[in-house]
Amino acid sequence: MNTDQATPVCTDELLRERISKFTRAEELKEAGLYPYFRVIESDQDTEVMINGRKVLMFGSNSYLGLTNHPEIKERSMEAIRQYGCGCAGSRFLNGTLDIHLELEEKLADFVGKDAALVFSTGFQVNIGVIPALLSRHDYLILDELDHASIIEGSRLSLAKTLKYEHNNMASLERTLQLGEPNRIRLIVVDGVFSMDGDIANLPEIARLAEKYKATIMVDDAHGLGVIGQGGRGTASHFGLTHRTHLIMGTFSKSLASIGGFIASDFATIEYLKHHARSLMFSASISPAATASVVAALDIIKREPERIEQLWTNTHFALDELHRVGFDTGVSCTPIIPIYIRDDVKTFQLSKMLLDEGIFVNPVTSPAVAKEDALIRFSLMATHTREQIAMAIDKIYSVARKLDILPRS
């Protein structure tokens, strides 16, 4: 068939058809269960304002409770006064400030690497670093529960992507045995998994990486400020910093800002500065955000009791949730999944809890399998025991009403 003479298809109609098939959001809104883009009218703290009333926040990633710290806010405002509100260019060209370099030095020192490179978001780190390091002849090896940013990085990399079963080291070894020899094999793994709240088995990953001559990159978005010596993350937690080639982190969790970084040896960072397209072709992180992270790192080093309190809260919450009969899976961190195992009941529970003044995040299919639907209960160092107990009491009460837990 001569394609030049074929009847043209209106691509606008095709696009409209695709868009029209997405109805789930509207269905949830009509049912009064839509849980996304909820508008907060206050600062991020253990209590927030929603629709003019106070709500206890158990959906935040601010593990150390630093987003509202007065020193961080003041340092941020000082940076605006000195540098302005933006950098008007990419790091590669005119967007590198001296405070970017100061932050990179502090980050490298904090995680125990030679050098670090700051990106505008954590997502941009993974979609920039992974494609920069790999070609179509290489192998990218992922845990099946790795973060979406790692998945997007895999799609951009052109490398052959292989997945192993979550935290299953026998599955990882079988995966490492696949493919052609003498090719780059990069294992990219979450340090702390953002849904299940468990920790990667880094000691065994490191052993297998050395056996099969693979390289390790740890995404420590949820590990920094939470685990490891002084909050230095997963590699530090296991004493494996020297065997972890690349450490990635974000600023939007424990570090009270926005942005991300990659840390490694000098040569790798120099290579990434000239090959990571999401760095080279994106505007650089703002002065205010940069100064906020510098201040947050100073506070974390100066106030180790914040991490201690976070873990006190975590142990208390896990004990209380188990006592009343909730299934929290394999979580051993401040990210606590409460398994509901039903999409509709998960949405209902989230809505009813918000009505009761408790903010939690529902996680349903397709983000997880329907039988793994859950609410994510996230803790902060600044939560009080009374706030945690009140929240768990209300979760228990609403769960019984929905027959998620037995009524007797």
- pLDDT at site 368: 86
What band does 175 get if pLDDT is binned at 50, 70 and 90? very high
**Residue 34 in tokens:** 């839509």
What digits encode the pLDDT tens for the residues 255-272? Answer: 999 999 999 999 999 999
What band does 5 get if pLDDT is binned at 50, 70 and 90? low
Q: Distance (Å, rounded) from C-alpha 52 to C-alpha 401?
A: 27
Please say whether the beta carbons of 234 and 191 come within 8 A: yes
Please say whether the beta carbons of 190 and 224 come within 8 A: no
- pLDDT at site 6: 63
Residues 137-155: b if buried by 16+ CB within 10 A, e if exposed: ebbbbbbebbbebbbebbe
403 exposure class (CB count in 10 Å sphere: 0-12, 13-18, 19+)? exposed
Please say whether the beta carbons of 362 and 35 come within 8 A: yes
- pLDDT at site 2: 56
Q: SS3 of 191, please?
A: coil
- pLDDT at site 3: 54
Provide the sign of the torsion angle of the four alpha carbons 300, 306, 311, 313, taken in this order: negative
**Residue 357 in tokens:** 């003044």
> How much is the mean pLDDT over the chain?
95
What digits encode the pLDDT tens for the residues 178-235? Answer: 988 899 999 999 999 999 999 999 999 999 999 999 999 999 999 999 999 999 999 9
Those residues whose C-beta lies under 8 Å from the C-beta of residue 222, and which sit 6 or more positions away, are 61, 63, 190, 191, 192, 193, 194, 253, 333, 335
Residue the block writes with tokens 């009064």: 32
* Residues 146-150, mean pLDDT to the nearest whole number: 96
Q: Is the pLDDT of residue 10 over 70?
A: no
**Residue 192 in tokens:** 């702390």
β-strand 215-219 against 246-250: which pairing, if any? parallel
Provide the sign of the torsion angle of the four alpha carbons 152, 160, 363, 384, taken in this order: negative
Residue from 334, 253, 260 nearest 91 by CA: 260
β-strand 53-57 against 185-190: which pairing, if any? unpaired
At residue 222, what are phi and psi to the nearest 5 degrees?
-100, 5
Residue from 119, 63, 61, 45 nearest 231 by CA: 63
Q: SS3 of 378, please?
A: strand
What digits encode the pLDDT tens for the residues 78-95? Answer: 999 999 999 999 999 999
Q: In what order do the strands lie in the sheet with 361-363?
A: 335-339, 374-378, 361-363
Residue from 35, 56, 54 nearest 378 by CA: 56
- pLDDT at site 39: 96
End-to-end CA distance of the chain: 70
Q: Is the pLDDT of residue 8 over 90?
A: no
What digits encode the pLDDT tens for the residues 93-127? Answer: 999 999 999 999 999 999 999 999 999 999 999 99
Q: Is the pLDDT of residue 7 over 80?
A: no
Q: Active-site positions? A: 194, 222, 253
- pLDDT at site 405: 83
What digits encode the pLDDT tens for the residues 383-400? Answer: 999 999 999 999 999 999
What digits encode the pLDDT tens for the residues 276-325? Answer: 999 999 999 999 999 999 999 999 999 999 999 999 999 999 999 999 99
What digits encode the pLDDT tens for the residues 315-351? Answer: 999 999 999 999 999 999 999 999 999 999 999 999 9
What band does 21 get if pLDDT is binned at 50, 70 and 90? very high
* Residues 15-20, mean pLDDT to the nearest whole number: 91
Q: Distance (Å, rounded) from C-alpha 102 to C-alpha 297?
A: 12
- pLDDT at site 13: 87
Question: Which residues pair with residue 163 across a beta bridge?
Answer: 142
Which structural domains are found in the chain, ordered by start? 26-57+304-401 (3.90.1150.10), 70-302 (3.40.640.10)
